[in-house]
């Protein structure tokens, strides 16, 4: 069998990306919006592949051949695939977290998908509605102010006590929240 040089290069490049995915530690995003999730759609091979189901975000990078560009489920990467999975649909209009109007059997299908993802892929964050993240950050600043900790919004609080553990906040944390332990 003859393989063209360009095909061989493409295969080598994909092998390199798969190796990066195997070696990459899951990045904990915390709470992010649907717009923030979109950048993890596989278009940048240096970023993990993420998708959401029922408000939970999973790192599906290990399944790049399925969820990455050119894969059969690529349309789900960087999206909330809740409704689409429940309906077993490839309609882009079903890429939403809306479960309204789903039948009992469709909700069971969704539950099966969720169980599969929980077993196979690491959970790395939580999907929030636009505006909810800003509200959560404001509430946290109010709590911090009441407890004597001050966060001016531009500079991170270096460490917080939460349930007995210290959390160091990264200055470039775009999601505004970290989970403890």
Half-sphere exposure of 153 (CA within 13 A, CB side): 7
User: Distances from the Cα of 122 to the Cαs of 139, 149, 166, 181, in angstroms?
Assistant: 28, 32, 23, 15
Residue 44 has what DSSP assignment? S
> Looking at residue 65, what is its pLDDT?
87
> Looking at residue 162, what is its pLDDT?
39
Complete DSSP assignment for 26-82: PP--EEEEHHHHGGGSSSSTTS--EEEETTEEEE-GGGHHHHSTTSTTGGGTTSB-H
Section 141-151 average pLDDT: 58
User: Distances from the Cα of 63 to the Cαs of 33, 52, 103, 166, in angstroms?
Assistant: 23, 14, 29, 33
pLDDT at 159 exceeding the cut of 80:
no
Q: Which two tokens stand for residue 96?
A: 């939403």
Grouping H, G, I as helix, E, B as strand and the rest as coil, residue 112 is helix
> Looking at residue 149, what is its pLDDT?
54
Q: What is the pLDDT of residues 25-71, one digit of tens each?
A: 778 889 999 999 999 999 998 899 999 999 999 999 988 889 999 99
Q: What is the CA radius of gyration of the chain?
A: 19
> Looking at residue 5, what is its pLDDT?
58
Strands 30-33 and 123-128: parallel
Residue 97 has what DSSP assignment? S
> Looking at residue 169, what is its pLDDT?
35
> Looking at residue 45, what is its pLDDT?
86
- The CATH fold assigned to 5-129 is Flavocytochrome B2; Chain A, domain 1 (3.10.120)
Q: Contact, 32 vs 78, CB < 8 A?
A: no
CA 151 to the chain's CA centroid: 26
> Looking at residue 29, what is its pLDDT?
85
Q: Hey, where are the domains in the chain?
A: 5-129, 131-181
Q: What is the pLDDT of residues 1-30, one digit of tens each?
A: 555 656 656 556 656 655 665 666 778 889
Section 116-124 average pLDDT: 95
pLDDT at 179 exceeding the cut of 70:
no
Give the residue with greater pLDDT, 158 vs 102: 102
Q: Which two tokens stand for residue 70?
A: 């050119």
Please indicate, yes or no, whether the overall pTM of this predicted structure exceeds 0.75: no
Give the residue with greater pLDDT, 29 vs 91: 91
């Amino acid at each position: 069998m003859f393989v063209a040089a360009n095909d061989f290069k493409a295969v080598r490049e994909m092998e390199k990306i798969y190796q990066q995915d195997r070696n990459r530690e899951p990045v904990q995003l915390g709470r992010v919006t649907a717009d923030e999730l979109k950048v993890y759609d596989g278009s940048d091979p240096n970023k993990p592949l993420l998708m959401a189901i029922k408000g939970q975000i999973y790192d599906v990078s290990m399944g790049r051949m399925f969820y990455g560009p050119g894969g059969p489920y690529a349309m789900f990467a960087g999206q909330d695939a809740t409704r689409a999975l429940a309906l077993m649909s490839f309609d882009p209009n079903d890429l939403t977290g809306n479960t309204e109007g789903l039948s009992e059997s469709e909700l069971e299908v969704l539950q099966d998908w969720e169980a599969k993802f929980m077993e196979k892929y690491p959970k790395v964050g939580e999907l929030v509605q636009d505006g909810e993240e800003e509200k959560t950050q404001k509430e946290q600043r109010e709590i911090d102010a009441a407890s004597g900790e001050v966060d001016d919004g531009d500079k991170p609080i270096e460490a917080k006590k939460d349930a007995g553990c210290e959390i160091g906040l990264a200055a470039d944390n775009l999601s505004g929240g970290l989970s403890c332990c």
